Amino acid sequence: MRTAAPSNPVMTHPRLTSLLGALLGALLAVHPTVADADAPKRAPAPPAEVAKGSIKGTVLFEGEPPERATLDRKSDPFCAKQTATANADDVVVTKGKLAGVLVRIKNGSAGTHAAPTTPAVIDQVGCAYSPHVIGIVAGQKIAVRNSDGTFHNIRGILKGKDVVNKMQAAKAADVSIESKAAADDVIELACGVHPWMHAFAVVQDHPYFAVTGSDGVFAISGLAPGTYTLEAWHPTLGAKSMTVKVGVGAKASINARFSYKP
């Protein structure tokens, strides 16, 4: 009778068996099998759609624009000498283009956005506010500057109540206006010394807005694809709106035009 061969102590030792299993697993991880190596590579997931859309356009004034009245500013000798700003700035039309129009995506339709940490600046130059209209995000501060050689009295009015009423000497430090204005609110600025001086800060819940200059042009960028309500607001002539669709690729940039009539 043949006796059984003695068992191999290396192969039957439990600890060594465990170590050999771990080593084999590591080798397979570093050197995959031929079947794994030949498997087709899975493409990485495409990045999320980047908001690259934009709306560009012009605000026109059709017909004969109203004549800009000459302001009576004799009460302040400094202001009386500022000829560049001697005319009323309530409706400013240059070659059929309307300035001072805030164009924005309708509030409540562009997501949630934090207020900028830097204030929006309105200067007092030539005894006039510059610019006449600004846009801010709810919670953003306004800094009112005095570049004039005379003093002003700054009143910030929200819903008929003063949010600030403060004297400001010539070349003095900026006056900060901080309010609880919400989207769709308008803060009116007025000077208690010079009654012809007015400006308007229009409040949004997003940063997708622009204000037209003397060329009537506006541009809003960073928009995701979608259908939007585009609004135009002028302190004297009122508001208008239209529906626009921002696409992708060649349709990501679209043109829009608003027209006001006398």
Residue 257's DSSP bridge partners are 58
Per residue in 128-148, pLDDT (tens digit) is 999 999 999 999 999 999 999
Q: Domain for residue 251, yes or no?
A: yes
Q: Domain for residue 160, yes or no?
A: yes
Task: Please give the average per-residue pLDDT across 221-230, as a whole number.
Answer: 96
Residue 49's pLDDT is: 55
- Evaluate if residue 234 carries a pLDDT over 70: yes
Residue 15's pLDDT is: 52
- Evaluate if residue 10 carries a pLDDT over 50: no
> Mean pLDDT in the chain?
87
- Evaluate if residue 87 carries a pLDDT over 60: yes
Element (H, E) at 36: helix 34-37
Per residue in 146-199, pLDDT (tens digit) is 999 999 999 999 999 999 999 999 999 999 999 999 999 999 999 999 999 999
Alpha carbons 206 and 189: distance in angstroms, whole number: 22
Domain with residue 150: its CATH number is 2.60.40.420
Q: Domain for residue 162, yes or no?
A: yes
Q: Domain for residue 46, yes or no?
A: no
Q: Domain for residue 41, yes or no?
A: no
Alpha carbons 44 and 200: distance in angstroms, whole number: 49
Per residue in 38-78, pLDDT (tens digit) is 444 444 444 445 689 999 999 999 999 999 999 999 999 99
Residue 6's pLDDT is: 47
Contacts for 114-118 with beta carbons within 8 Å, 24 or more apart? Answer: 114/139, 115/139, 115/140, 116/140, 116/207
The position carrying tokens 């006796």 is 3
**19: confidence class by pLDDT, cuts 50, 70, 90:** very low
Q: Domain for residue 139, yes or no?
A: yes
Residue 40's pLDDT is: 47
Closest CA to 254 of 97, 104, 53: 53
The encoded tokens of residue 135 equal: 């846009």
Q: Is the pTM of this model over 0.95?
A: no
Q: How many domains does the chain have?
A: 1
Residue 262's pLDDT is: 85
Q: Domain for residue 241, yes or no?
A: yes
Q: Domain for residue 178, yes or no?
A: yes
Those residues with Cβ within 8 angstroms of residue 261's Cβ, 6 or more apart along the chain or in another chain:
61, 62, 63
The position carrying tokens 């679209």 is 254
Instruction: Look up the domain containing 179 and give its range.
Output: 53-260
Alpha carbons 118 and 31: distance in angstroms, whole number: 56
